[in-house]
Amino acid sequence: MGRGLGQQHKSKAPGSTIPRVGIDYFYLTKGGAKGILARNELSEAGFDSSDKIHDARDKGELVKCLLVRCWETKNVFAHVIPVKGADEEGYAAKLGAADMRWLGHTRLIVKCDNEASLVALKDQILNELKMDKDLEQASDENPARYESQSNGGTEVGVRNVRGLMRTLKLCLESRIGKYIPVTHAIIPWLLEHTCLLINARVKGPDGLTPWSRVRGRAFNQRLLCFGEKILYKLPSKGPMHDPDGNIGTRWLEAVFLG
């Protein structure tokens, strides 16, 4: 009664026979390497009320993000979104549903905690998924009230994404000699590229990457440094083929964004 922490969690317990996909919010805040916060860290950073959060968003000091993570394959996706909850145009829900379709599961369980805005978004995502003919089952699962540990598989994704994104952002700032604010247009690209690197390059104990577990093969496309200036080849057919005629350039300059 004095020191017990609760029932022991067995790490070798059998996993779910139906893939679980978790969703959660996190925030990008102004402040360099420390500017990526999970929701439970907002109050520690001074955003202890909804009014302060709205004021920071209006001033460009706070950006909301959505994270989607498959607990079984370990694939993770993240997007900058305009508002929390179910927006009028269903933008965030369509992003989340597209991520879950990419996983290719015919049956899945969508998990989130009991925050009202997150539950509303989860319901909107399920409505999007239930229109797919190839999906046999799409159900939801919520943790017990005030029991955040049961959503730990999703919180791990937040930790992994924000750790690598800090590294990539600091690397880019060092190379160009400039500070990049969280409201800059390159940030959504950097966030999604971070998830691609985790999915395509990080191997688990089984020796497979999250990409390999879903696609059945390794990610074999060439990856470049984010923000690198490159030459890209124009397509051999279509309207972009030979835009300046048959003696024009076949290559154009660009910046690699993932």
pLDDT digits (tens, 9 = 90+) for 195-212: 999 999 999 999 999 999
Write down the pLDDT at residue 90. Answer: 85
Is 20-213 a domain of CATH 3.40.1710.10? no
Write down the pLDDT at residue 40. Answer: 65
CB neighbours of residue 71 within 10 Å: 20
User: Is the CB of residue 15 less than 8 Å from the CB of residue 72?
Assistant: yes
Write down the pLDDT at residue 33. Answer: 45
Residue 256 has pLDDT above 70, yes or no: yes
Residue 250, both tokens: 């076949």
Residue 69 binned pLDDT confidence (cut-offs 50, 70, 90):
very high
Residue 4 binned pLDDT confidence (cut-offs 50, 70, 90):
confident
Dist CA 238 CA 176 (whole Å): 35
Dist CA 89 CA 138 (whole Å): 22
Residue 169 binned pLDDT confidence (cut-offs 50, 70, 90):
very high
Dist CA 198 CA 209 (whole Å): 8
How much is the mean pLDDT over the chain? 83
Q: Name the more confident of 199 and 38.
A: 199
Residue 35 has pLDDT above 80, yes or no: no
Dist CA 200 CA 210 (whole Å): 7
Dist CA 47 CA 181 (whole Å): 18
The C-alpha angle 160, 48, 187, rounded to 5 degrees, equals: 40
Q: Mean pLDDT, to the nearest integer, of 82-86?
A: 70
Residue 72 has pLDDT above 80, yes or no: yes
Q: What is the DSSP letter of 199?
A: H
Dist CA 239 CA 58 (whole Å): 41
Write down the pLDDT at residue 155. Answer: 85
| Domain ranges (residues) in the chain | 20-213, 224-258
Write down the pLDDT at residue 31. Answer: 61
Strand segments, DSSP code E, in the chain are 20-29, 36-38, 62-70, 76-80, 107-111, 137-141, 229-233, 251-255
The pTM score is 0.83
Write down the pLDDT at residue 68. Answer: 95
